[in-house]
Amino acid sequence: ALILGIDRFMSECRSLTNFIGNAVATIVVARWDNALDTAALHHALNAPTAPGAARPATESDMD
């Protein structure tokens, strides 16, 4: 039971690491090919979050 609990957490960590790696690689390759639009990148990274996006999760969200 303990291994299953740890594996779920580690699986989420692996997924997050994979996602971040893919995002960084996309930016690096675009920059390398001189295809990176830095203005659009800064706009996307600095855009405000959607209304309600910062709302904490509740028990009803988990069902």
Q: What is the pLDDT of residues 27-52, one digit of tens each?
A: 999 999 999 999 999 998 888 776 66
- pLDDT at position 27, please? 96
Are 36 and 24 within 8 A, CB to CB? no
Q: Average per-residue pLDDT in the chain?
A: 84
Q: Does residue 21 carry a pLDDT above 80?
A: yes
**Does residue 2 belong to any structural domain of this protein?**
yes
Q: Which domain holds residue 14?
A: 1-35
How many domains, the chain?
1
Does 53 fall in a domain? no
Stronger pLDDT, 61 or 10, i.e. the higher one: 10
Predicted pLDDT of residue 8: 82
Note the pTM of the prediction, 2 decimals: 0.61
Q: What is the mean pLDDT of residues 20-26?
A: 96
Q: Are 27 and 45 within 8 A, CB to CB?
A: no
Residue 60 lies in a domain: no
Residue 24 near residue 38, CB atoms below 8 Å: no
